Structure 1
Amino acid sequence: MDFAQIASFSLVALLLVVSPGPNGVLIAKTVPTSGRAAGFANVAGFLVAFYIHGALSILGLSVILMQSAQAFLLVKIIGALYLIWIGVKALLSAWQGDNTTRSTVPTKPKRSLSKAFVEGFLTNALNPKVSMFYMAAFPQFIPVEEGAMMNALLLVSIHSLMNMIWFASLVILFSRLVATVRSGWFQRVFKGITGAIFIGFGVKLATLKAN
């Protein structure tokens, strides 16, 4: 695999990473309420899920997922329900409100690091679109040769590194805006918006068809 192929994949992957999606929404939801460390835990969950999707694609198990209507439907519905569940929780929290004010600083994160990690992991692990991306990308950018598996691992690593840099930057950005986003009115409005977006992503995933 030459530099041109790596550069082409990197461009496609970069456009996918920076496009709006549930990962960015989750970061924006986590950092203001639970802090920078929880946001980085989200990112760690993203990366583990990407490598699992990549490993499944390299081993060919994702082909089974894409070719089996029942398997694809199961993963798709579970992922959609998970995103909708996150959205409903955010909407309920926005509706109920809280006593948070601008000057309030929580004594401890509302979301543990392990929970933030699991949320980041499940948001990606239950999304078959990640497998679809790898299965579509690998045949186009990886030549059929003896080192194909290592080349596939390299592309997964490039995609994961881009995600880490992009979403870590978002974590830092939101953490610096924390004084504003912790105000009570902002939290209610923001939770309402993010809840609606998560539900929208869930509905979109539920209607996704395997190509």
Structure 2
Amino acid sequence: MFDISTLSTFVVVVMGLFLIPGPAVFLTITRTAQGGQKAGIMAGAGIATGDFIHTVCAAVGLSAILMTSALAFNIVKLAGAAYLLYMGIKAILEKSADAAAPAATPVSTLSVYSQAIVAEVLNPKTALFFLAFLPQFVHPEQGTPIIQFLVLGLIFVLMSITYTTLIAVGIRPLGKLIKRISWIGRWSGKIVGTIYIALGLKVAFQSR
């Protein structure tokens, strides 16, 4: 279904995005600090569940577009590439600021899980990200598009929950490490922006 090049590129890009602290990381850290490792793990699981819901929605919608018109799908794909370029340029130009963990009150682990799902599902930026990101790795000639979307989404979710679990379990040594490499905060926007731009240019180049 996927060639090794496409799948490896997807995994590497996702790993690159995960390595830069974002809202998911800070929510996991906050919940871990408030309720312990279990709460942090549940927050990560909730975020991953929300991401998979976005994946399913994107898979159904974009597959329906592809069934209607391959041209329309390519237009959506190019629009997604343009959006990634825009996000990349915006991230690079924005001044870096110290990221603050989102405010939250102590709650049960089940509530932590459900609240993380709701927060992720209702985040329009996340929906746009999946609509723009996933199509760049889907090739209709290599198999059923909706299956490709779902497989990519599952890989993303499994990597996400593994990453946030590792953060929840190793938050103390990670905190010391982050303090030692404070340049991450200053350069995180530029690193993420470069990843987005590289993805957008990759699609633009392939479309020629």
| TM-score range relative to shorter protein | 0.5 to 0.7
Asked if 1:169 corresponds to 2:163, the answer is: no
State the percentage of identical aligned residues: 27
Please identify, of 11-20 and 54-63, the stretch whose mean Cα deviation from structure 2 is larger.
Answer: 54-63
Take 1:63 and 1:149, find their aligned partners in 2: how far apart are those partners? 9
Is the 8 Å Cα contact of residues 167 and 174 (structure 2) preserved in structure 1? no
State the 1:138 CA deviation: 2.9
Aligned mates of 2:123, 2:62 — CA distance in 1: 15
Deviates more, 1:169-178 or 1:145-154: 169-178
TM-score by length of 1: 0.58
Counterpart Cα distance in 2 of 1:135 and 1:177: 32
Report if the CA contact (8 A) 2:28-2:167 is conserved.
Answer: yes
Whole-Å separation in 2 of the counterparts to 1:164 and 1:115: 17
CA RMSD across the alignment: 3.1
Cα 1:8/1:152, change in 2 over 3 Å: same
Q: Structure 1: how far apart are the matches of 2:134 and 2:174?
A: 39
Distance 1:39 1:142 in 2: 32
**Structure-2 residue corresponding to 1:72:** none
* Structure 2 CA distance for aligned equivalents of residues 62 and 25 of structure 1: 33
AA aligned opposite 1:133: F
Q: Is the 8 A contact 1:62 1:131 kept in 2?
A: no
What's 1:2 paired with? 3
Report how far residue 161 of structure 1 moved: 1.2
| Aligned residue number for residue 118 of structure 1 | 114
Cα distance in 1 for residues equivalent to 2:118 and 2:63: 17
Deviations 1:127-173 (A, max 9, x none): 22322222223332111144111111111011111111111000001
Indicate yes or no: 2:123 matched with 1:127. Answer: yes
Aligned partner of 2:150 in structure 1 is 153
Task: Name the CA shift for 1:175/1:33 in 2 (closer, same or farther; >3 Å).
Answer: farther
Deviates more, 1:169-178 or 1:29-38: 169-178
* Alpha-carbon distance change, 47 to 115 in structure 1, aligned in 2, over 3 angstroms: same
Shift of 1:31: 1.1
Q: Deviations over 1:53-77 (max 9, x none)?
A: 000001117999x9xxxxxxxxxxx
Q: What is the match of residue 51 of structure 2?
A: 50
**Contact in 2 for aligned 1:36/1:175 (Cα 8 Å):** no
Note if contact 1:49-1:122 (Cα within 8 Å) is conserved in structure 2. Answer: yes
Do 2:63 and 2:145's aligned partners in 1 also have CA atoms closer than 8 Å? no
CA radius of gyration, larger in: 1
The CA distance in 2 between the partners of 1:113 and 1:158, in whole Å, is 25
- TM-score normalised over the length of structure 2: 0.58
Residue by residue over 1:41-91, the C-alpha shift from the partner in whole angstroms, topping out at 9 and shown as x without a partner, is: 111111210110000001117999x9xxxxxxxxxxxxxxxxxxx94x56x
Count of aligned pairs between the two proteins: 140
Shift of 1:177: 8.8
Listed as ranges, the gaps of 5+ residues in structure 1 are 67-85, 94-109, 179-211
1:5-64 deviations in whole A, cap 9, x for unaligned?
Answer: 011111221222222211111111111221111111111111210110000001117999
Q: Does 1:34 align with 2:58?
A: no
